[in-house]
């Protein structure tokens, strides 16, 4: 009986031991004691797929690496954390370590409604940070000292400190609530976009590398609030947030482009930036003429007068002492309606209207004053040339030969010598000539090089031929992309482009986070067309925080595929097409784009050599 009981007891013990673990499983390690009231914490692993313990005690794999809780970044915004993890290619639930963050050099976390970038300070190796189109009210990039490119456009920032980011070359901070911005430490800055903020002044005198500045839609009262920028060396987009009189949107698309170009050059007086269809006065024309000479020669009017041994005569006219009129008179640009004599002052009639033949004469004199050769122009094709006064006929021929002044009729070439000149016509006329350096800027901005610029290089027939072909292709390609861009934007911005769940109100149904109105569709299409004419068009599209979401996020069909389908993408990879007529058209288009881009490179190389001499 005792023997049976002993055997039975042994069997029971073995059964218990067998139920606790298998023969191949190592004994479980004891759990460390936990202080009262504190739950045990399991530290995340750097390699999420590694198990806590190896399956095989003989496995040579290194044990998993644990990190301390303090080494994990505490993100205030969980969306920010999850977006960063997706950007890193991670799908686990573990945290991001400070060591991991310190190795990341680029972050593109735009359009995710992120409200806080707390934790960005640990990404110390970042050179590119794109966080536009979010809901940020503040951002601290003081620890991100290696940043070369920063995009925070379309947020709700009221402050932006980039004083520690001395390597910045590109800063895009438009459409925020910035009342001030200090970029004095950012001496390597090449592109600065701060449009649609609340800036009242901006000093870029220390940013000598700057070649692109967009400060449109701020509260700068005039260009005097913009310090240190040379519009001849940089592309400057500037106009006040609000304007009086006739809006720029009411002029024709072609005229709008030329007027904007002139505004960016800086020679259009602030009081002439509006009411574009009204007649320009004699005083207003003189003021713009003097400011244009300052722009073209890169000197103040006082410096220009001093170098030529000239002074203003305050007693020249009995009805005005305007300094611009007196400067224009000293430079022999105008003699007034009655010239002064040795015995009595002249009469200028500052509020009088300029006739078109008077304007042609003064424009020709301005061209001569900046160094252009205006002699022996060919006879014009104006049907009313015989109605032009003899003293103005050579000037009318000159401004026609160089397309400085247009016909007043689209049906027949007509000059209308006694007619008045509008502000719009005056601004466009001044915009069509200037220094040789302007040609390079026009090419870089993908504009048309007017004939009045060719006098600098008229002896180089090969370059003139290249520029003529460049102008021809530029017009053809620009018109094509403008047409397609207008169609895409119109499609996206109207009810047809959105689903049935959109709350439509009227014809245009643009989401509130798009800064578009029907009048701005033309501007958006223009940006599309202009960007399509560059070899790096993809970067230009993807870096545009307004156009990109319209084209890639909201558009359908060809709109959603822009620029891969309609854009110049098929220069390198044309889509397969079965229609032979369409295929031939695309082959021709590819050939035109290749020729156009090659011309741009060749012309710019020639100009660099010319301007360096």
- d(Cα 462, Cα 161) in Å, to the nearest integer? 50
Mean pLDDT of the chain: 76
Please tell me which residue, 172 or 531, carries the higher pLDDT value: 172
- The pLDDT of residue 456 is 60
For 404-424, what is the mean pLDDT? 90
Give the residue among 466, 471, 464, 478 at the shortest CA–CA distance from 449.
471
> Residue 331 pLDDT > 60, yes or no?
yes
What is the C-alpha separation between 225 and 219, in angstroms, rounded?
9
Write phi, then psi, for 610 (nearest 5 degrees).
-65, -45
| For the chain, percent of residues with pLDDT exceeding 90 | 32
Task: Report, as an integer, the average pLDDT of 382-394.
Answer: 94
Q: In the prediction, which pLDDT does 153 show?
A: 87
Report whether 598 contacts 571 (CB < 8 A).
no
229: pLDDT strictly greater than 70 = no
Range among 100-114, 140-154, 270-284, 440-454 with highest mean pLDDT value = 140-154
In the numeric block, the tokens 């993908």 are attached to 446
Tens-digit pLDDT profile for residues 303-313: 999 999 999 99
pLDDT digits (tens, 9 = 90+) for 177-202: 899 999 999 999 988 988 778 888 88
Instruction: Return the half-sphere exposure (C-beta side, CA atoms, 13 A cut-off) of residue 142.
Output: 6
Q: Which has the closest alpha carbon to 419: 401, 405, 432, 403?
A: 405
Task: Kindly list the strands in the beta sheet with 235-237, ordered across the sheet, starting from the edge strand earlier in the chain.
Answer: 106-108, 128-130, 149-151, 170-172, 191-193, 212-214, 235-237
* pLDDT band at residue 499 using 50, 70 and 90 as cut-offs: very low
pLDDT for the residue 206: 87
- Average pLDDT (101-106) is 93
Residue in the structure block whose two tokens are 């578009």: 516
pLDDT at 493: 57
* pLDDT confidence tier of residue 523, bands split at 50, 70 and 90: confident
Separation between Cα atoms, residue 293 and residue 272, nearest integer Å: 17
Q: How far apart are CA 142 and CA 120, in angstroms?
A: 10
Q: Stretch 139-158: mean pLDDT, rounded?
A: 93
Partner residues linked to 346 by β-bridges = 317
Q: Which of 30-44, 269-283, 472-486, 572-586 has the highest mean pLDDT?
A: 269-283
* pLDDT value at residue 335: 92
**33-42, 242-251, 314-323 — most confident range:** 314-323
Residue pair 248/260 in contact by the 8 Å Cβ criterion: yes
Is it the case that residue 337 has pLDDT exceeding 80?
A: yes
SS3 317: strand
Q: What is the pLDDT of residue 182?
A: 94
- CB 385 within 8 Å of CB 379: yes
Tens digits of residue pLDDT in 113-129 = 899 999 999 999 999 99
Dihedrals phi, psi of 172, to nearest 5 degrees: -115, 115
Measured in whole angstroms, the distance separating CA 144 from the mean position of its chain's CA atoms is 24
The H or E element that residue 108 is part of is strand 106-108
| Residues 6 or more apart in contact with residue 362 via CB below 8 angstroms | 285, 289, 333, 334, 354
- The β-bridge relationship of strands 202-203 and 106-108 is unpaired
170: pLDDT strictly greater than 50: yes
- Model pLDDT for residues 6-17, shown as the tens digit of each residue: 544 444 444 444
């Amino acid at each position: 009986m005792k023997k049976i009981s002993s055997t039975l007891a042994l069997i029971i013990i073995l059964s218990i031991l067998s139920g606790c673990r298998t023969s191949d499983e190592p004994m479980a390690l004891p759990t460390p004691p936990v202080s009262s009231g504190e739950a045990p914490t399991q530290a995340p692993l750097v390699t999420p797929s590694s198990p806590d313990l190896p399956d095989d005690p003989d496995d040579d794999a290194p044990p998993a690496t644990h990190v301390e809780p303090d080494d994990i970044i505490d993100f205030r915004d969980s969306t920010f954390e999850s977006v960063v993890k997706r950007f890193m290619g991670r799908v686990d639930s573990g945290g991001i370590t400070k060591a991991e963050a310190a190795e990341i050099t680029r972050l593109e976390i735009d359009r995710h409604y992120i409200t806080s970038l707390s934790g960005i300070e640990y990404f110390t190796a970042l050179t590119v940070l794109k966080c536009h189109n979010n809901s940020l009210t503040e951002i601290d990039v003081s620890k991100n000292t290696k940043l070369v490119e920063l995009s925070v456009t379309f947020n709700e920032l009221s402050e932006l400190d980039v004083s520690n980011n001395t390597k910045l070359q590109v800063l895009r901070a438009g459409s925020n609530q910035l009342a001030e911005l200090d970029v004095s430490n950012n001496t390597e800055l090449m592109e600065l976009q701060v449009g649609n903020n609340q800036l009242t002044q901006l000093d870029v005198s220390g940013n000598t590398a700057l070649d692109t500045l967009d400060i449109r839609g701020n509260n700068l009262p005039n260009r005097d609030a913009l310090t240190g920028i040379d519009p001849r060396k940089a592309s400057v987009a500037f106009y006040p947030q609000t304007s009086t009189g006739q809006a720029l949107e009411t002029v024709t698309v072609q005229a709008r482009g030329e007027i904007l170009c002139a505004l960016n050059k800086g020679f259009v007086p602030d009081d002439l930036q509006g009411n574009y269809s009204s007649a320009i006065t004699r005083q207003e024309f003189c003021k713009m003429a003097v400011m244009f000479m300052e722009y073209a020669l890169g000197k103040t009017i006082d410096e220009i007068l001093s170098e030529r041994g000239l002074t203003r005569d305050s007693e020249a006219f009995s009805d005005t002492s305007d300094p611009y009129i007196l400067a224009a008179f000293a430079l022999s640009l105008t003699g007034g309606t009655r010239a002064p004599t040795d015995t009595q002052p002249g009469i200028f009639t500052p509020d009088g209207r300029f006739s078109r033949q008077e304007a042609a004469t003064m424009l020709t004199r301005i061209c001569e004053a900046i160094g252009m050769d205006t002699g022996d122009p060919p006879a014009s094709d104006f049907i009313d040339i015989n109605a032009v006064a003899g003293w103005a006929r050579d000037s009318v021929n000159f401004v026609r030969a160089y397309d400085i002044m247009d016909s007043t009729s689209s049906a027949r070439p007509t000059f209308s010598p006694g007619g008045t000149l509008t502000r719009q016509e005056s601004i466009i006329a001044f915009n069509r000539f200037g220094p040789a350096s302007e040609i390079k800027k026009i090419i870089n901005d993908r504009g048309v090089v007017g004939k009045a610029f060719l006098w600098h290089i008229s002896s180089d027939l090969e370059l003139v031929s290249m520029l003529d072909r460049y102008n021809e292709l530029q017009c053809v390609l620009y018109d094509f992309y403008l047409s397609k861009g207008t169609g895409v934007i119109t499609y996206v911005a109207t009810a047809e482009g959105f689903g049935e769940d959109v709350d439509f109100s009227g014809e245009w149904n643009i989401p509130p986070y798009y800064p578009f109105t029907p009048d701005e569709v033309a501007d958006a299409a223009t940006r599309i067309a202009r960007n399509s004419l560059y070899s790096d068009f993809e970067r230009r599209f993807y870096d545009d925080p307004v156009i990109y979401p319209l084209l890639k996020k909201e558009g359908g069909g060809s709109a959603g595929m822009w620029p891969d389908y309609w854009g110049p993408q098929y220069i390198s990879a044309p889509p397969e097409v079965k229609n032979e007529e369409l295929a031939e058209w695309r082959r021709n288009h590819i050939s035109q784009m290749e020729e156009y881009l090659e011309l741009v490179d060749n012309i710019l190389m020639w100009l660099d050599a010319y301007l360096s001499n």
